[in-house]
Amino acid sequence: MHAFIAALGFGIVTAAILAIASVGFTLQFGATNIFNLAFGSTMTASAFVAYVATEANLGLWGAVVFGALFGTVFSVLLNRAVYLPFVKRGARLFEMIIVAIAVTLLISNIIQAVWGASFFTLKLAPTPALNFGALAFTRDELGIIGVAVAAMLCVHALLHHTRLGQAMRATATNPALARNCGIPTTRVIDVVWAVSGLLCGLGGVALVLVTTSFNPQTGTEFIIPILAVAVLGGIGQPYGAMLGAVVIGLMTQLSALVISPEYKQAVAFVTLVVVLLLRPQGILSEVAEQKEVVA
């Protein structure tokens, strides 16, 4: 029972991190149809920026702020400098995914070249664990869960209670129509990348806060669970991603109770494959053809 509670606790924290990251990913993919596979390595890069901040004794807040800021700025620049020019030139979807892979290779290996392949830890004071009945969370973990909830509420508010959010949803559904209605789609897309990048940066910092030690590959591999969540929830559906994050986060950690712990990652892998093969539109989305998942 104790193991179960512990796994449940881990599951909730994992779900929180996944939620932050996948909502960012799916918002951007929904609006632009570009598979930004470099999302994971951008998380790693943000984590390393946070690391530099803690090494400079800027503490937890410094780490979070600089990590999130880096994620935001980097993602917007990535789109403007790399993805957008290719799209404007009429690159086909499969070329774009190779571009994304190339960017991933670049980011994760530049990090490795600069910092080496060994493991790093954020220089932060350890925090006490707080108990809720049988569940125990550290202050950082609670913070992450709090941030996740806050981020979800903000995203919801943004999408449904602001003009910008409306413009984002319109651009995601039908870019040409949105443009014809006078929506400045290029600027809206910049904002989409900025929001996505902000969540990416936050997710990256959260990830290394929880895993305590990380290396240049950490975030890069995280893209697969993010993809699994995004696909499970329905591409482009932020609420689906939130739901999917809970499902996959919990399943991944709880699976360690029944299968060998090395295979935990396989939960996300297998979910991704199974969902894409059986119900590519995800559990929430009803409209597969509109999002062109099916050829």
Partner 1 sequence: MSAVPARELAPDGPASRPGAPPHLLVVEGLRRQFGGVRAVDAATFSVAEGSITGLIGPNGAGKSTTVSMVAGSLRPTAGRIVFGGVETTGLPAYRVARLGVVRTFQIAGVFEQLTALENLLIGAPNLRGERLWDALVGKWYWKRSDREAVARARELLVRFGLEEKENDRAGTLSGGQRRLVEIMRALMAHPRMLLLDEPTAGVAPSLVHLLQDMLEELRDEGITMLLVEHALGVVERLCDTVIVMAQGRTLATGTMRELRQRQDVLDAYLIG
Partner 2 sequence: MSQAVQFYLSTLLAYIGVDFIACWALNLQFGVAGILSFCFIIFQAAGAYTAAVLTLGPETPTSFQQYFGGAHLPFPLPVLAAAVVGALLALVVGLITLRRLRRDYQAIVMLVVSLIATLVATNATGLVNGANGLSLVPKPLSKGLGLSPYGTTYQWIFALVVCGIALVCYAVVHRITSSPYGRVLRALRDNEQAAVAVGKNPLALRLGIYAVGGALGAVSGALLVEAISAWSPSSWLYPETFSYFAAVIIGGSGNDLGVAIGALLVPVGFLEAVRFMPTIGGPQFLGALEWIAVGLLLLVFLWFRPRGIVPERRRKYPAS
Residues engaged in binding partner 1 (CB under 8 A): 286-287, 289-290
The three state secondary structure string of 240-287 is: HHHHHHHHHHHHHHHHCCCCCHHHHHHHHHHHHHHHHHHCCCCCCCCC
Q: Which does 105 bind (CB under 5 to 8 A by kind): partner 2, partner 1, none?
A: partner 2
Least distance CB 227 / partner 2 (angstroms): 6
Footprint on this chain of partner 2 (rule: CB under 8 A) = 35, 82, 85-86, 91, 93-99, 101-106, 108-110, 112-113, 116-117, 224, 227, 260, 262-263, 265-266, 269-270, 272-273, 276-277, 280, 292-295
Least distance CB 98 / partner 1 (angstroms): 17
Closer to partner 2 by Cβ: residue 46 or 281: 281
* Helix (H) / strand (E) containing 135: strand 135-138
Q: Which does 77 bind (CB under 5 to 8 A by kind): partner 1, partner 2, none?
A: none
Which single residue is written with the structure tokens 């918002």?
27
Least distance CB 62 / partner 2 (angstroms): 27
Q: Which does 289 bind (CB under 5 to 8 A by kind): partner 2, partner 1, none?
A: partner 1
Closer to partner 2 by Cβ: residue 34 or 159: 34
Q: Which does 239 bind (CB under 5 to 8 A by kind): partner 2, partner 1, none?
A: none
- Contact (CB, 8 A) for 130 and 151: no
How many beta carbons lie within 10 A of that of residue 245, not counting itself? 29
CA dihedral 255, 259, 262, 268 (to 10 degrees): -40
Closer to partner 1 by Cβ: residue 262 or 286: 286
Report residue 266 as tokens: 């396989």
Least distance CB 174 / partner 1 (angstroms): 13
Q: Which does 287 bind (CB under 5 to 8 A by kind): partner 2, partner 1, none?
A: partner 1
Per-residue exposure over 12-40, b if at least 16 CB sit within 10 Å of its own CB, e if not: bbbbbbbbbbbbbbbbbbbbbbbbbbbbb
Q: Which does 47 bind (CB under 5 to 8 A by kind): partner 2, partner 1, none?
A: none
Residue 132, beta-bridge partner list? 135
